[in-house]
Amino acid sequence: MNGKFKQCAACLLGLMAVVTMVTVSGCDKKSAAATASPVVQKRAEPLLIQHQLGTTTITDVPQRVAVMDMNEADFLDQLNVPFAGMPKDFIPHFLDKYQQNHADIADLGGIVQPNMERIHTLKPDLILMTPIQKDHYQELTQIAPTLYYEINFNNSEHGHLATIKNHLLTLGKIFNREDLARSKVAELDAEVNKVRAITKERPEKALVVLYNNGAFSNYGVDSRYGFIFSDLGVKPASNDASTSLHGQPISSEFIKRADPDILYIIDRTSVMQHQPVITAAQVTNPLLRATKAWKNNRVVFVDADAWYTTGASPTSMYLLMQDVMKGYQ
């Protein structure tokens, strides 16, 4: 009787062990399924995108995207496309959620000097870059297909908004978000038309200047902010030429001579030093106070993140256009 009991107990323990193994095995399979990589979506035909630096071939819908510039981060954010890594040295306030509580998004170094080792480690299947990272293009293409965003940061007089809209549509095609991309383009067009309707009827002339550690630079019609005049219809207070990324150095005397009705001031120092945008009291002097803009309280300290950190993405365009309209209020 005792022997039979021991034999039954041994059988029962063996059965329990088998059940446990099956259960654990089932759990492991579920766990593996939960952590498995997303299913690769193959395209019916490869997508070939030509740009100034070459041709980018995309065979799948990208799952692990590395963005090298905050403009690109904003494009993907607008299209509800997640990305795996980004530089985190100058994240604009409207993308702050990607710095806060987003440890899952890898820090890829700096916008100007990306960390190549981290990009290699990330193993992206698509890299999005702009002219700021142009010198790294060949090296980036050795890691993954790399798409170059052909935006002109030196002279935006011709086709700036058209380039932004075309890039939206291109990304929409890459990520199967074409309807959403077309919707975003339509929204952007509507906002541009609203601004142009105001500037067309108004005689005021404006000056766009950059403030950097106590010094001013002017941005004219063929400069980084040339689209303000060409695409948005703002009338320039000065026709001085400048295609430099940081504008043409000027003095307060220059601003006084131009005597703008509206003065837009971009505070580069606030971006580079991560501090609040300057106020009128911090830059005022007798020459500036003598301008029509200062006398009539038409000096606009613009959103520096939208104008300087980005300036070529959907959200930055909306914020920038809001600033432009403030000058006419």
Radius of gyration of the chain (CA): 27
Question: Where does the chain have alpha helices with state H?
Answer: 2-35, 70-78, 116-122, 137-141, 160-174, 178-201, 227-230, 252-258, 268-272, 280-283, 286-289, 292-295, 304, 314-326
- Average pLDDT score over residue span 120-146: 97
Q: How confident is the model at residue 91 (pLDDT cuts 50, 70, 90)?
A: very high
pLDDT of 246 above 80? no
Q: How confident is the model at residue 31 (pLDDT cuts 50, 70, 90)?
A: very low
Return the CATH fold of 42-150: Rossmann fold (3.40.50)
pLDDT of 27 above 70? no
> Does the fold of domain 185-326 match that of domain 42-150?
yes
pLDDT of 16 above 80? no
* CB-side neighbour CA atoms (13 Å) of 301: 14
Please tell me the predicted confidence (pLDDT) of residue 230: 95
Q: Which CATH architecture has domain 185-326?
A: 3-Layer(aba) Sandwich (3.40)
- % of the chain exceeding 70 in pLDDT: 85
Please tell me the predicted confidence (pLDDT) of residue 240: 73
Please tell me the predicted confidence (pLDDT) of residue 254: 95
Range scoring the smallest mean pLDDT among 25-29, 55-59, 238-242: 25-29
pLDDT of 322 above 70? yes
Pairing of strands 248-250, 299-301: unpaired
- Average pLDDT score over residue span 110-115: 96
What secondary structure letter does DSSP report for 114? B
- Average pLDDT score over residue span 257-264: 97
Please tell me the predicted confidence (pLDDT) of residue 17: 38
Q: Rounded to an integer, what distance in angstroms lies between the CA atom of residue 302 and that of residue 50?
A: 35
Average pLDDT, the chain: 88
State both tokens at 319: 């914020």
Q: How confident is the model at residue 12 (pLDDT cuts 50, 70, 90)?
A: very low
Q: How confident is the model at residue 101 (pLDDT cuts 50, 70, 90)?
A: low
- Average pLDDT score over residue span 231-237: 97
Domain ranges of the chain: 42-150, 185-326
- Average pLDDT score over residue span 286-296: 96
Range scoring the smallest mean pLDDT among 14-23, 37-46, 209-218, 244-253: 14-23
Q: What is the pTM of this model?
A: 0.86
pLDDT of 158 above 70? yes
Q: How confident is the model at residue 293 (pLDDT cuts 50, 70, 90)?
A: very high
Please tell me the predicted confidence (pLDDT) of residue 38: 54
- Average pLDDT score over residue span 96-124: 91
pLDDT of 266 above 70? yes
Please tell me the predicted confidence (pLDDT) of residue 245: 67
- Average pLDDT score over residue span 244-259: 88
Q: At 225, phi and psi to the nearest 5? A: -110, 25
Please provide the DSSP assignment of 25-59 as one string. HHHHHHHHHHHSPPPP-EEEEEEEEEETTEEEEEE
pLDDT of 255 above 80? yes
pLDDT of 54 above 80? yes
